Amino acid sequence: MPRLSDSMEEGTILKWLVSEGDEVKKGQEIAEIETDKATMTYEADEEGVFHPVAGEGDTLSIGEVIATIGEDAPATSGDNGGKPKEDAPEAEADEEDRAVDAEAAGEGGDAQPKAEQPESKTASGDENGRVKASPVARRLAKEQGVDLASVEGTGPGGRIVKADVEKAASGEAKPATKAEAKKDDAPKREERPAEREAEPAAAASASSPGTSDPKVTETGTTKGDVSVVDLTRTQQVVARRMAEAKATIPEFTLVAEIDMENAVALRSKLKEVAGEDAVVPSFNDMVVKACAFALRDHPRANGSYKDGKFELYSRVNVGVAVAAQNALVVPVIHDADQKSLGHIARDVRKLAARVRDGTVSPPELAGGTFTVSNLGMFGITSFTAVINPPQAAILAVGAMQQRPVIVDDRGKVEARHRMNVSLVCDHRILYGADAAEFLGRIRALLEEPLAMAL
């Protein structure tokens, strides 16, 4: 499994683009892999005969073998595909598990029936009481919340395999031991009235989605049919990283209102002088540029807190949050402080389009040192964003509106374009005064946008 993004820890094989035994060339696309940020295509780094090791839908950690390319022979159980030797037993166990799963699912074709295994002291356990299960089964059990001790193994020697865990997760598993089966067959004690009254609610909560009785209520209301939706790899990582950010980062928020009247005038002028097909910078492009200049002037805002130290970055790379299909992706404008407004505008549009059509590449998502999140197009006037770890801060941008503003000492009121921004900071690296100066610099640049042309 290749590392396709800087924060990637594991990936899911969505689709193999070549088949078993195909001759592949170096640079040929062989797989679609879902990472923590997007779906990527993976190219072969050598040529030869292709033999898949992982199946479509399998999720593997970085460095685990997904396929072999070489001579016209698949990897043997003694070949771990270049992984460290100590990882080989798990890889072999995974291979064995896949074979046993295929037998259990009836995919083995001419496979011989398994010999009856002697009954052990514990279900699917060895003489020490340890549950015998393949690595794939253990990983699936952990994901599904299945207690391996309650699962009856159908693999060699009573070993628990993937199919056993799937059956247990669906509620079809048999009792793990004879003692449990005997307990289940024992006459039930007479139920008390309170227990009989609670039975309908318990049955409703245990029923599968779409089969619950809509008449049964829970705390006085009904939920109707329930649909359970599995998260994509990107959604899982977003959920994990955001939870980690809220749990581990001591954050605080600064809010400012920015006068955008001069920015509106500048954009109108740019529209007049631009050609018909020219890309005119948006107000969000101006925000990105202002942040880039301010980050250059305030190094700690362009850094991160890590392992009790400050990491300060020499490059200013501003990420722009883009809403993809059912996910949030942050492509990065690298060296934004060195690019013109027009260059930033073209880069943002290109990257946003690539995010939405699923063709964004790993380098375009890597290396961000700061993030801008804008919900103004949805009419949101202000909001608080969640820091994208390990970055020091994130700027949340609201909608620009005309508001009545006092413009001189005599109390004269005018309608002017104003915009709210919120700066969420990691207090371990950005302190109150530092953050206030940083946000003040952003505001000054946006209120006098010609300064960004220098």
Two tokens, residue 158: 């009573």
Do 394 and 253 form a contact (C-beta atoms < 8 A)?
Answer: no
Q: What topology does CATH give the domain 135-183?
A: Dihydrolipoamide Transferase (4.10.320)
Write down the pLDDT at residue 166: 83
Q: What is the mean pLDDT of the chain?
A: 79
User: DSSP states of 220-251 as a string?
Assistant: TB---S----PPPHHHHHHHHHHHHHHHH--E
What radius of gyration do the chain's Cα atoms show? 29
Mean pLDDT, residues 319-337: 90
Least confident interval from 213-222, 332-341, 370-379: 213-222
- The answer for residues whose C-beta is within 8 angstroms of residue 438's C-beta and 6 or more apart is 294, 295, 297, 298, 301, 393, 423, 430
Q: At what angle do helices 135-144 and 162-169 cross, to 10 degrees?
A: 20
pLDDT above 90 for 316: yes
Q: At what angle do helices 432-447 and 283-297 cross, to 10 degrees?
A: 130
Q: Which of 190-194, 211-215, 241-245, 415-419 has the highest mean pLDDT?
A: 415-419
Tens of pLDDT along 34-55? 876 677 788 888 889 999 999 8
Least confident interval from 74-83, 345-354, 357-366: 74-83
Write down the pLDDT at residue 436: 98
pLDDT above 80 for 308: yes
Write down the pLDDT at residue 129: 58
Q: Which CATH architecture has domain 10-104?
A: Beta Barrel (2.40)
Higher pLDDT, 113 or 44: 44
Could you tell me which residues are beta bridge partners of residue 302?
none
Least confident interval from 176-190, 261-275, 304-318, 327-341: 176-190
Domain ranges of the chain: 10-104, 135-183, 234-453
| Catalytic pick among 51, 334, 417, 427 | 427
CA angle 407–412–413, rounded 5-degree value = 75
Write down the pLDDT at residue 331: 94
pLDDT above 50 for 57: yes
pLDDT above 80 for 87: no
Q: Kindly report the pTM of this predicted structure.
A: 0.59
Higher pLDDT, 419 or 358: 419
Write down the pLDDT at residue 372: 97
Two tokens, residue 152: 């009856």
CA angle 375–317–369, rounded 5-degree value = 80
Mean pLDDT, residues 175-197: 45
Rounded to whole angstroms, how far apart are CA atoms 304 and 300? 7
Q: Using pLDDT thresholds of 50, 70 and 90, give the confidence band for residue 179.
A: very low
Tens of pLDDT along 201-250? 433 333 334 444 444 444 445 888 889 988 887 788 888 889 989 999 99
Q: What topology does CATH give the domain 234-453?
A: Chloramphenicol Acetyltransferase (3.30.559)
Q: Is 334 a catalytic residue?
A: no
Higher pLDDT, 428 or 210: 428
Residue 235 phi/psi, 5-degree rounding, is: -65, -35
Q: Which of 118-122, 177-181, 223-227, 261-265 has the highest mean pLDDT?
A: 261-265
